[in-house]
């Protein structure tokens, strides 16, 4: 684990109890995913098909983007193009201003997190309410989501109860999830009814019909799309599928991989605006076309943001999402970060390379190979080159190796004690040194037999 990641993890999950709760909650999602996948006899064939569809779509993305734009426009939507995060923020702000919007009901969109849309709109005097319950919790808490499907998974019911007491007036000490959810429903209902625009993300976009597909369990995106007269949908340019017939492949994989549900409670396919309303679709690049041009890393653009790789990752489970720099945590976040954010270059090192992420990815992204590839391409962390050179020197020479072993055994008891300047300090922050056997393997072997070997 990198040091920055380790320190950030400590802020979100401050003690062993919080770590254990987070680990358990996240792994439960992984367990549900396994059960759901096992119920589909053609699961592996589906993953194969999804991967092939994504490869085909990315290979022909120019054709499909133009087709999508043409069909969506024919259906009455207005398609906008954003080069980067600033462009998305500008276009969204202009649209909302032109419609004199002061209050927005927003549903979950990792893209708008990536582009910092909420903070920008607030700075322009436009009030944004996140309507997904988990997103609302982190919004009230003033922190980013820590999971792409379950944004407040790092928070306990006691913390959420205290937050709702302060911000929504629930009784002090109320921690029952059902009562807290009802309180949020009442509070958000009035905000939906007074919203002048709805902002949603896009799970899939169908080139053949110019439709966007939005999946939620709460129904919040549908309320945002059906009450106000303005719907602004923000989509990354990689979200396309060629035909409506291709959509079921992804719908069958998405929710099962995310939470173990057979499909999300609501899957809305929206083609053009509803009568008397406007639909604006903002297609965002923000580094994606550069990733597409990189044959070694373009496969990451196939991600359907299910979160399965987070739920299975031993580092994510114990570190929590805030430990990762950038909007998307976990293995896929670590793979996307170096391409999309300069600060993310350290993340590919925060992995044990166990490959569990690759094993569960519904579109078969080679996640652990990607992490390894980034490690080769990116500058190594400070000190790693020197350490590697030293190790090579010692491992090449039996006498130096024996000497290093002897020094190690001598200094072992001291290294286990916390003192300023201890070179093992960062290791000791999260762990204890294991007990040392006291003698080297070679010397114990020599004592056991006569050194003749097996």
Binding residues among 227-266 for other proteins as defined by CB under 8 A: 227, 237, 242, 244-245, 247-249, 251-252, 259, 261-266
Among 4, 18, 25, 404, binds other proteins (CB under 8 A): 25
Nearer to other proteins (CB atom), residue 290 or residue 395: 290
Residues 144-163 that bind other proteins (CB under 8 A): 150-153, 156-157, 160
- Cα 70 from Cα 79, distance rounded (Å): 9
If the CB atoms of residues 29 and 323 are measured against other proteins, the closer one turns out to be: 29
> Do the Cβ atoms of 316 and 150 come closer than 8 Å?
no
Residue among 116, 112, 157, 118 nearest 134 (CA): 157
Shortest spacing between CB 89 and other proteins, in angstroms: 13
270 phi/psi in degrees, rounded to 5? -115, 125
The interface with other proteins within residues 38-97 (CB under 8 A) comprises 40-42, 45-46, 49, 52-53, 55-56, 58-63, 65-66, 81-83, 87
- For the CB of residue 137, give the shortest distance to other proteins in the complex, in Å: 7
By CB under 8 A, is residue 166 in contact with other proteins?
no
Q: Which residues contact 338 (CB under 8 A, 6 or more apart)?
A: 344, 345, 347, 348, 374, 377, 378
287 — alpha (psi -120 to 50), left (phi > 0) or beta? left
Q: How far is the CB of 278 from other proteins (least distance, A)?
A: 12
Q: Are strands 127-130 and 103-106 parallel, antiparallel or unpaired?
A: parallel
Residues 97-116 binding other proteins (CB under 8 A) are none
Helix axes 177-194 and 157-168, enclosed angle (nearest 10): 40
Site string for other proteins, 199-228 (x = CB under 8 A): ----------x-x-----xxxx-xx-xxx-
Q: Least distance in Å: CB of 20 to other proteins? A: 13
Minimum CB separation of residue 355 from other proteins in Å reads 24
Shortest gap between Cβ of 435 and other proteins (angstroms)? Answer: 37
From the list 344, 334, 330, the residue with the least C-alpha distance to 370 is 334
Q: Could you tell me the end-to-end alpha-carbon distance of the chain, in angstroms, rounded to an integer?
A: 38
Dihedral angle, C-alpha 240, 244, 248, 249, nearest 10 °: -50
296 is an interface residue for other proteins by CB under 8 A: no
Q: Give phi and psi for 197, each to the nearest 5.
A: -155, 150
Contact status: 351 vs other proteins (CB under 8 A) = no
CB 191 to other proteins: min, Å: 11
Q: Is 193 in the site for other proteins (CB under 8 A)?
A: yes
Which residues, numbered 298-337, are part of the site for other proteins (CB under 8 A)? 298
């Amino acid at each position: 684990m990198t040091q920055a990641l380790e320190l950030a993890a400590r802020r979100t999950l401050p003690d062993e109890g919080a770590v254990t709760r987070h680990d358990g909650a996240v792994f439960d999602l992984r367990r549900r995913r396994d059960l759901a996948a096992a119920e589909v006899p053609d699961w592996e064939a589906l993953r194969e098909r999804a991967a092939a569809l994504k490869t085909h779509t990315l290979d022909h993305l120019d054709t499909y983007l133009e087709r999508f734009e043409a069909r969506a426009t024919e259906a009455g939507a207005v398609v906008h193009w954003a080069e980067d995060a600033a462009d998305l923020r500008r276009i969204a702000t202009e649209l909302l201003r032109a419609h004199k919007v002061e209050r927005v009901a927003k549903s979950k969109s990792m893209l708008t997190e990536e582009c910092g849309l909420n903070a920008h709109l607030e700075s322009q005097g436009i009030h944004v309410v996140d309507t997904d319950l988990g997103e609302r919790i982190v919004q009230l808490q003033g922190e980013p989501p820590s999971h792409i499907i379950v944004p407040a998974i790092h928070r306990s019911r006691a913390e959420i109860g205290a937050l709702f007491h302060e911000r929504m007036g629930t009784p002090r000490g109320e921690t029952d999830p059902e009562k807290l959810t009802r309180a949020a429903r009442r509070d958000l209902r009035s905000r939906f009814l007074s919203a002048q625009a709805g902002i949603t993300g896009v799970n899939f976009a169908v080139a053949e019909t110019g439709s966007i597909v939005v999946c939620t369990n709460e129904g919040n995106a549908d309320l945002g799309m059906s009450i106000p007269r303005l719907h602004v949908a923000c989509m990354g340019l990689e979200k396309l599928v060629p035909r409506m017939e291709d959509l079921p492949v992804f719908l069958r994989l998405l929710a099962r991989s995310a939470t173990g549900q057979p499909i999300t409670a609501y899957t809305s396919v929206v083609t053009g605006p509803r009568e008397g309303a406007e639909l604006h679709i903002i297609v965002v690049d923000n580094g994606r076309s550069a990733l597409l041009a990189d044959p070694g890393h373009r496969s990451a653009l196939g991600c359907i943001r299910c979160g399965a790789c987070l739920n299975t990752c031993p580092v994510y489970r114990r570190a929590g999402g805030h430990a990762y720099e950038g909007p998307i945590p976990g293995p896929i976040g670590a793979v996307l970060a170096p391409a999309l954010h300069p600060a993310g270059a350290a993340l590919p090192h925060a992995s044990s390379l166990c490959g569990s992420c690759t094993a569960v990815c519904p579109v078969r992204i080679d996640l652990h190979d990607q992490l390894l590839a980034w490690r080769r391409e990116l500058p190594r962390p400070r000190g790693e080159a020197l350490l590697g050179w030293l190790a090579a020197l010692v491992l090449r020479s039996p006498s130096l190796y024996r000497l290093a072993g002897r020094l190690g055994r001598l200094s072992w008891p001291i290294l286990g004690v916390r003192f300023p300047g201890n070179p093992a300090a960062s290791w000791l922050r999260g762990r204890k040194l294991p007990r040392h056997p006291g003698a080297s393997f070679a010397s114990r072997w020599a004592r056991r037999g006569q050194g003749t070997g097996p």
